[in-house]
């Protein structure tokens, strides 16, 4: 059984308004994200971790065709606390967990499926894309100081998919050691496990700034 935890409890401070309800081709960003996971045959259940303000909205969507959404829970102050809340709500039968940012609405059914299939053989994988841009390091005043080698550099995306037992063990260690992790790869690496990339050749941006809505819109037009 595969469960998807959709993390949608951010404050949207950099956006200036709730980015998850921003309209993308006439549909809220979060609803579009959930719709892709709803369509994915490899996903058996969806747990939405969101804010108290959005729980009612998501519940309305659940009653209008999103029958894979089994739980809607309130997240924590930090991302890793929201993921932990989602992990505690998993169905006991679940053996594979996919964690995805609610603000990545362009993920495809095909890529979700590829990540889940890879996790069944490799136990820990992350949707990612290779770095192609030139990278520079700057000092505190914005002066370029040197170049950063982009060989073997990858940009992490979501979903990040894991064997359930491994991810639970990783988050137990994160909490025990008082760490602040920004993704599941970091949590799993903390316990010494290897994580493999699953290359994504399709656009999968995270909606963070108002301009990101316009960019995502162009990909959908």
- The number of residues making up the chain comes to 221
How far apart are alpha carbons 54 and 9 in whole angstroms?
Answer: 9
Query: What pLDDT was estimated at residue 12?
Result: 55
Q: pLDDT: is 10 or 160 the higher one?
A: 160
Does the structure show a pLDDT above 70 at 47?
Answer: yes
Q: In total, how many domains does the chain have?
A: 1
The range of the structural domain enclosing residue 105 comes to: 2-128+154-210
Residue 134 lies in a domain: no
Residue 148 lies in a domain: no
Q: What is the pLDDT of residue 19?
A: 87
Give me the mean pLDDT over the 113-126 stretch: 98
- The predicted structure's pLDDT at residue 153: 96
Question: What band does 35 get if pLDDT is binned at 50, 70 and 90?
Answer: very high
Q: What's the rounded mean pLDDT across residues 21-37? A: 95
Q: What was the pLDDT predicted at 14? A: 54
Q: How confident is the model at residue 10 (pLDDT cuts 50, 70, 90)?
A: confident
pLDDT value of position 99: 98
pLDDT single digits (tens) 58-103: 999 999 999 999 999 999 989 999 999 999 999 999 999 999 999 9
Domain membership of residue 217 (yes or no) is no
Predicted confidence at residue 15, as pLDDT, reads 55
Q: What is the 3-state secondary structure (H, E, C) of 58-115?
A: HHHHHCCCCCCEEEEEECCCCHHHHHHHHHHCCCCCCCEEEEEECCCCCCCHHHHHHH
Residue 220, pLDDT score: 87
Over 90: is that where the pLDDT of 210 sits? no
pLDDT 10s digits, 179-199: 999 999 999 999 999 999 999
Q: What is the pLDDT of residue 17?
A: 62
- The rounded distance, in Å, linking the Cα atoms of 7 and 79 is 8
Rg, the chain, Cα only:
17
pLDDT mean across residues, the chain: 95
Mean pLDDT within 40-54: 96
Percent of residues, the chain, with pLDDT higher than 70: 97
* Residue 28 confidence class, pLDDT cut points 50, 70, 90: very high
Query: Does 13 score more than 60 pLDDT?
Result: no
What is the C-alpha to C-alpha distance for residues 182 and 105, in angstroms, rounded to an integer? 19
What CATH number is attached to the domain comprising 36? 3.90.550.10
């Amino acid at each position: 059984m595969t469960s998807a935890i959709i993390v949608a409890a951010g404050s949207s401070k950099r956006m200036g308004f709730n980015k998850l309800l921003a309209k993308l081709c006439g549909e809220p960003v979060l609803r579009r994200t959930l719709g892709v996971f709803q369509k994915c045959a490899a996903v058996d259940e969806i747990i939405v971790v969101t804010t108290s303000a959005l729980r009612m909205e998501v519940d309305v969507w659940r009653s209008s065709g999103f029958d894979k959404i089994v739980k809607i829970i309130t997240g924590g102050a930090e991302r890793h606390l929201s993921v932990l809340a989602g992990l505690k709500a998993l169905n006991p039968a679940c053996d594979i967990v996919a964690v995805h940012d609610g603000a990545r609405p362009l993920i495809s059914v095909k890529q979700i499926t590829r990540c889940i299939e890879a996790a069944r053989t490799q136990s820990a994988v992350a949707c990612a894309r290779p770095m192609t841009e030139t990278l520079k390091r700057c000092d505190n005043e914005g002066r370029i100081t040197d170049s950063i080698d982009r060989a073997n550099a990858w940009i992490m995306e979501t979903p990040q998919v894991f064997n359930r037992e491994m991810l639970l063990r990783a988050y137990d260690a994160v909490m025990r050691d008082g760490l602040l992790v920004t993704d599941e790869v970091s949590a799993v690496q903390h316990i010494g496990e290897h994580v493999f990339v699953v290359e994504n050749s399709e656009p999968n941006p995270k909606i963070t700034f108002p301009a990101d809505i316009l960019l995502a819109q162009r990909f959908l037009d």
